[in-house]
Amino acid sequence: MILIINNDKRMNYLSEYIRDSGMDLIQYHLDSSSFDFHILKETHYLILPFGGIAEDGRIANTHLYLTEDVLRHLPEDCVILTPIRYPKLLKLLEVVPRKYEVIFDHDEVAIYNSIPTAEGVIYHIIKNTDITIHQAEILVIGSGRIAMTIARDLKALGAYVSVTFRKKKDEARLFEMGLNPIHIDLMRSDLHHYDVIVNTVPFMMLDEQDLTQVRRDCYVLDVSSKPGGVNFKKAEELGIQSELALSLPSIIAPKTAAYYLFRFVRDYIASSEKKGGL
């Protein structure tokens, strides 16, 4: 049996896809106040939602708490499917070991998911700036799967796009794509002329000192995971418009994003059963 926690439209659509495929599914919705331990004991796959898990165990946008007691009621061979490595989950698993799989560690999910993320970035730039993307000077911080899609789509709209990199292979790929590669160590010396900065790295990339080099009319958009990689308090003090845009696929295209997740869940379960799993 699959147990899924619905806390946004994307997870609701995922539930529909799973149910329509004929798989055995139980859902917890926003108004659910606690886990049913009888259901947990029958759960073979627990799918956690997006948004994070607080230090006290509360699952984002729900009344549910993930605790040691909850994990102990899951069968020992239960697999927890989690979007990313939530620190609270990892702490709990140190005490109550259960197998887990990080969904966005898999390219087939992360790359597909970058499509609605990039469309969300375009939407936010159009909404929050007074200029066209065409001929805008835009910096994308990071050269991972999401950053590459964002940079490519912005370039296709006529922007002058610079992208940070660390590895030589990423520099070569960016050059091949017609983008302007900038080594991450050199990024901070050249922040003053960008119209838009998009951060995709979930670490502090624009601190107080960095932001003093950013133009006041620059729009800074962070699409990394919470708490982001921008000192938003300092940006506000300086009068720089900045924003942490979480879960863009769920906002921009929840049905499409859910289908990408469903394909992974379906194939993962089929593969597990073929190997002699549940």
Helix (H, G, I), strand (E, B) or coil at 104: helix
Cα–Cα distances (Å) from 211 to 55, 183, 216, in that order, read: 30, 18, 9
CA dist 43 and 214 (Å) reads: 50
Region 40-67: mean pLDDT is 93
In the chain, DSSP finds a helix count (H) and a strand count (E) of 11, 11
DSSP symbols for 188-251:
GGG-TT-SEEEE--SS--B-HHHHTTS-TT-EEEE-SSTT-SB-HHHHHHHT-EEEE---HHHH
- Other CB atoms within a 10 A radius of the CB of residue 207 amount to 13
Amino acid, single-letter form, for residue 192: H
CA angle 250, 256, 261 (to 5 degrees): 80
pLDDT digits (tens, 9 = 90+) for 225-258: 888 999 999 999 999 999 999 889 999 999 999 9
Whether the CB-CB separation of 269 and 23 falls below 8 Å is answered with: yes
How confident is the model over 198-217, as pLDDT tens digits? 999 999 999 999 999 999 99
What gap in Å lies between CA 8 and CA 2, rounded to an integer?
Answer: 18
Mean pLDDT, residues 264-268: 95
Q: Is the pLDDT of residue 275 over 90?
A: no
89-148 residue pLDDT tens: 999 999 999 999 999 999 989 999 999 999 999 999 999 999 999 999 999 999 999 999
Environment class of residue 271 by beta-carbon count within 10 Å: exposed (0-12), middle (13-18) or buried (19+)?
A: exposed
For the purposes of burial, counting CB atoms within 10 Å of the CB of 38, is it exposed (0-12), middle (13-18) or buried (19 or more)? exposed
Mean pLDDT of 3-12: 92
Please tell me the distance from the alpha carbon of residue 123 to that of residue 126, in angstroms, as a whole number.
5
CB atoms within 10 A of CB 99: 13
pLDDT at 276: 62
Helices 9-20 & 254-274, crossing angle to 10 degrees? 50
List, in order of start, the domains of the chain with CATH numbers: 2-105+254-274 (3.40.50.720), 108-246 (3.40.50.720)
Look up the pTM and report it: 0.89
- 6/12 Cα distance (integer angstroms): 6
